[in-house]
Structure 1
């Protein structure tokens, strides 16, 4: 695997590798609150942002890198 490369030139902005754990927690909270509100007969949340703040996740989103970036080769490695 020494020569494997990413297909898409994108990575997270902050220090984390991915936001997978935060997304799992957010979806669990969303499903739990939906279940509780359904039992009470209230309106259900429509989006994840109504349940958790996405800005509180580990990373600050993704950024696409161009070829002229000085770290491009390093970012494209797996």
Structure 2
């Protein structure tokens, strides 16, 4: 399986790969790289922080209560009064 690295990695043969390089790995190696957060996800972000790094997520966005409700594809409300 081909994966894009999000951090520098040295394979079992001693080849050093840079972040952004695409490498062909087996399922066991892929699992190991994912566990270490060294593989990019399709949205371009690593699956987890690389060892020795930390991430902080703060959310200050609040949803306007007037905008909560069924989406545009929802069926019309039943106003039959029952």
Shorter-normalised TM range: under 0.3
Pick the structure with more strand per residue: 2
When Rg is computed on C-alpha atoms for both structures, the one with the higher figure is 2
Pick the structure with more helix per residue: 1
TM-score by length of 1: 0.23
TM-score by length of 2: 0.22
